[in-house]
Structure 1
């Protein structure tokens, strides 16, 4: 596939589906007079957010708040000291409010801020990834956010770039001072991704500055800082290469974090109301149930595709059928284009079935994954924050150019004709893209900004099943079989992550689980093993959030009977930002 700029704008496709703005249910904050306690907390929460951005300027940038765009925070001891001082101060301020005195919406915001502060402190003092994970140090994202988004006049954004460039050398010097006893896996990832920085700090950027209306003094300052920044990145890459070689030769810290840290991280990140071990045990039961459903479909389809007796081992039979069906897939050079072609069909189905109101004025852009983001996931969403609601949402799809023919074929068999459709439901419509648009519309900045990963991923997984239940794909059994395969992957993500990080599962055991029990292709299994060595807990968010959302919907259906309306449920659920599902349940009840 040609490495040309790929910005497949789908605004026209969205605009053709609806003539109205999204009209999602919102928290009726203006309908009920706030109590003094609730008003006081509302004032505090706004002050908290404003203060947070002063110590987290890049987070502010990603959220669409541009006051501090020119500040690249140096991740040194002083910055950690300032962060801890901020946390202590805000925790003290939080104690002036009694949660039970607040209305339910404010009480949930209280819990979100409380959890965020505790999590930030734990990350710095206990988890300490800033010491052992070199991949967290990369300047590309902030620069890309400024240069790629048209949120302000070009010259204003370029001045932020110039200001930001000043601290790049000190940023990487601090990173090297911080890194102690790193893991090999995270060091290798850092090496690869920092090479991608030059796709952002590029000659194209230099030309953009040269052609701009900046003064000659500003252009000269850019050139000086630009060269120093590139030298700093080159130096850091060389240092990472030497570090990688040393770790490969002499050994490195294990990427496994162990049960105690895992349970703590799970509690902060997932907020599911159960332990990680309990979720793991639940996943084991669901795995058996899904495999049984797949066996039923395999039995029904067997004679359609085979003239030999079906194996007695149902998993073997299912795997054999999936292997046969997986040969139906797009050509490798058409992979990214095929993703973009499917989006209008999903929009049309959602509108026809009245599943959700889609906003035609919120652009979705399918693009090749930027180089500095590659190496972790094959598809992802980059969405604007609540301060920048009208910015582009990017659907990042990694092309298969650099794969060998064998790896590409394995990858395409995994994302075959049926599963590619499920992937697009998950990532785009009505999955991540749609949910994040709604999240930005929540009147509560706290709920929109401090989103819960399990809710975000759980919604995307929930929509996969919901779309098929509503008739997407005309109830084709092959599509349902592949959906169950995909859903089994979600379940096994939890089993895999817990087993690797806590139980010491080996690579061979992990590959066996994924290929023989979850029916995944080898390329997908190897990629997931890599991902499970680079992240912790995040892989459990899909299954955790999905089960909570699906169970909540079924409870609402039973409670409301004929009065239950699916579109109303969806829009009400999404109106509360990206809150943990347990809190949304409280709000909806």
Structure 2
């Protein structure tokens, strides 16, 4: 058979992805590709330079493909692959976070991935674990060489210390629990664990010395903000959206006014009063209603069971209202492992999109840290009250991430590009849209649908403010005082939530915008799809949007001919 443009692209894509997973064995494991499970990535200076050269060669080869002559699905995958290669080059050559963020070198997630799911017998996974563990001393030494003489970000050093301590803990109780299932693997683990633990503790000591030196003025910390130019480029590559950073910020600030009006109206209806004329009175009304809702709180002992019950209730509600096709794939709600704590309150960790084994999705919720004061714990659970937990699990589980990613798992194409390189803005955008969908259909939570609606609107405000923070912190020098005032006054957030989000804004860049940009794009897409197909049911509309994997919405529009 003569080679076609499509087969040329498919062969090139396969070769690029094979090499990518060889260079990123930790990412391959997450995807469900286990050929490289016993290896860690080479993040030495030489390894990073070699990767940059390979990325440039791969991008050049892809640019020679005439994408106008590809089938629609391959044309989309080619665009996704080109953006991913450009994004990886940008991170290595321009952003250079590996030189100032020591948390990037933590092997904890690569190790934890091998314990988290039963994709293979325990002895197989633990043998691979031992292989990765053996490479920890060399990997950490290489990281210190990369970071030596560089100005580090203080807040990222603090994050790294906490997460590296979580990795040390992982090599204790959690590893021992896994070894109890496969004692025959103990010899391989015990042969390498002492050296790995010593290397981790030495590295922790080195990080603490760098932190102390910076605090003493002996070293200079760098600003974690990446600046307007780098932020705009990172945002464009990360979101693969049609709007630029300035347009996204302008729309978010306009939507902040619109949603403020909506939550004021909802609060007035909740109280059975008219919307006050004065802005201060309207704000006080919203806060009064939210404070009343915040009186119903879980605690560290009950929040996981409460979240589990909420997911079951949501599954029944989605089925009853025929909103979208529901599957019975396995999942579990767990306490967030320490190696992942410090950034988000909750996450959905699905099976790798290329995982052949049937394994569960993990819905993780972070308990409050042991060193928090009673007042800060109380503030946290007022923010994540029982009504908010319902909204949170709609986002993380049903019909949010859990269900959307189950649909995505079922998509098949001629390449694995789309499965491996999903769009964060689409995934997060759908989850935020799901919150609005459920509240709009009167999802009752604990028997108070108006309360769920209030919390959903509060989350909309938070999402919009997150985008304003993202753009203004990294691109316009927003101060902590300005950010805290925006979150607590305009967003009605508890002090603890606002403080955590300020920290997250500094720790990440471009990520906080994914929710809002994705939500606006998904909502606009569904509006246009309804107009094009007015006779379609909600389930048909939603299944259609979820039926193409998880590409950026701009590509969905192309595939759906909108």
With structure 1 as the length reference, what TM-score do the two structures score?
0.89
Name the CA shift for 1:165/1:311 in 2 (closer, same or farther; >3 Å): closer
Secondary structure at the counterpart of residue 302 of structure 2:
helix
1:372 paired residue among 339, 351, 371:
339
Larger deviation: 489-498 or 145-154? 145-154
Equivalence map 1:54-73=2 (5 Å): 54-73=22-41
Other-structure match for 2:536: 564
Name the CA shift for 1:320/1:38 in 2 (closer, same or farther; >3 Å): same
CA distance in 2, matches of 1:207, 1:525: 37
Stretches of structure 1 lacking an aligned partner (at least 5 in a row): 1-32
Other-structure match for 2:475: 502
Secondary structure at the counterpart of residue 202 of structure 1:
helix
1:74–1:167 Cα contact (<8 Å) kept: no
CA distance in 2, matches of 1:440, 1:174: 36
Secondary structure at the counterpart of residue 502 of structure 1:
helix
CA distance in 2, matches of 1:204, 1:220: 17
CA distance in 1, matches of 2:486, 2:174: 45
2:333–2:364 Cα contact (<8 Å) kept: yes
Other-structure match for 2:44: 76
2:524 paired residue among 551, 556, 564:
551
Secondary structure at the counterpart of residue 585 of structure 1:
helix
Show CA shifts across 1:20-62 (max 9, x none).
Answer: xxxxxxxxxxxxx999212322222222222211111111111
Deviation, structure 1 residue 564? 2.2
Deviation, structure 1 residue 200? 1.9
Other-structure match for 1:10: none
Deviation, structure 1 residue 86? 2.1
Name the CA shift for 1:204/1:492 in 2 (closer, same or farther; >3 Å): closer
Q: Does 1:528 align with 2:501?
A: yes
Q: Does 1:185 align with 2:174?
A: no
CA distance in 1, matches of 2:514, 2:2: 34
1:388 paired residue among 355, 379, 388:
355
Deviation, structure 1 residue 264? 0.5
Secondary structure at the counterpart of residue 354 of structure 2:
helix
Q: Does 1:459 align with 2:430?
A: yes
2:390–2:452 Cα contact (<8 Å) kept: no
CA distance in 1, matches of 2:177, 2:439: 49
CA distance in 1, matches of 2:533, 2:359: 37
Larger deviation: 429-438 or 531-540? 429-438
Secondary structure at the counterpart of residue 384 of structure 1:
coil
Other-structure match for 1:313: 281
CA distance in 1, matches of 2:424, 2:127: 34
CA distance in 2, matches of 1:504, 1:540: 17
Larger deviation: 474-483 or 78-87? 474-483
1:552–1:585 Cα contact (<8 Å) kept: yes
Deviation, structure 1 residue 220? 4.4
CA distance in 2, matches of 1:221, 1:395: 31
Name the CA shift for 1:491/1:311 in 2 (closer, same or farther; >3 Å): closer
1:450 paired residue among 402, 406, 421:
421
2:42–2:48 Cα contact (<8 Å) kept: no
CA distance in 1, matches of 2:280, 2:58: 62
Secondary structure at the counterpart of residue 236 of structure 2:
helix
Q: Does 1:333 align with 2:305?
A: no
Q: Does 1:471 align with 2:438?
A: no
2:103–2:160 Cα contact (<8 Å) kept: yes
2:297–2:384 Cα contact (<8 Å) kept: yes
1:292 paired residue among 257, 261, 269:
261
CA distance in 2, matches of 1:221, 1:465: 50
Larger deviation: 188-197 or 310-319? 310-319
Other-structure match for 1:578: 550
Other-structure match for 2:71: 103
Equivalence map 1:14-53=2 (5 Å): 36-53=4-21
CA distance in 2, matches of 1:238, 1:142: 22
Q: Does 1:233 align with 2:200?
A: yes
CA distance in 2, matches of 1:255, 1:309: 42
CA distance in 2, matches of 1:310, 1:210: 65
1:279–1:544 Cα contact (<8 Å) kept: yes
Name the CA shift for 1:139/1:516 in 2 (closer, same or farther; >3 Å): same
1:333–1:400 Cα contact (<8 Å) kept: no
Deviation, structure 1 residue 204? 5.2
Stretches of structure 2 lacking an aligned partner (at least 5 in a row): none
Deviation, structure 1 residue 401? 5.8
Secondary structure at the counterpart of residue 529 of structure 1:
helix
Deviation, structure 1 residue 581? 0.7
Deviation, structure 1 residue 356? 1.8
CA distance in 2, matches of 1:394, 1:584: 27
Secondary structure at the counterpart of residue 246 of structure 1:
helix
Other-structure match for 1:29: none
CA distance in 1, matches of 2:98, 2:36: 23
CA distance in 2, matches of 1:184, 1:401: 20
CA distance in 1, matches of 2:142, 2:514: 32
CA distance in 1, matches of 2:272, 2:417: 55
Larger deviation: 412-421 or 468-477? 468-477
CA distance in 1, matches of 2:86, 2:2: 27
Other-structure match for 1:28: none
CA distance in 1, matches of 2:181, 2:468: 53
CA distance in 2, matches of 1:256, 1:401: 26
Deviation, structure 1 residue 395? 0.6
Other-structure match for 2:455: 482
Equivalence map 1:97-496=2 (5 Å): 97-179=65-147, 180-202=150-172, 205-206=175-176, 208-209=178-179, 212=182, 214=184, 219-250=186-217, 251-302=220-271, 313-360=281-328, 362-388=329-355, 390-400=358-368, 402=370, 403-444=372-413, 445-473=416-444, 476-496=449-469
Secondary structure at the counterpart of residue 362 of structure 2:
strand
2:80–2:417 Cα contact (<8 Å) kept: yes
2:23–2:42 Cα contact (<8 Å) kept: no
Higher relative contact order (CA 8 A, sep 6+): 1
Secondary structure at the counterpart of residue 201 of structure 1:
helix
2:488–2:494 Cα contact (<8 Å) kept: yes
Name the CA shift for 1:113/1:539 in 2 (closer, same or farther; >3 Å): same
Name the CA shift for 1:34/1:433 in 2 (closer, same or farther; >3 Å): farther
RMSD over aligned Cα atoms: 2.3
Show CA shifts across 1:264-287 (max 9, x none).
Answer: 000110111111111001011101
Secondary structure at the counterpart of residue 376 of structure 2:
helix
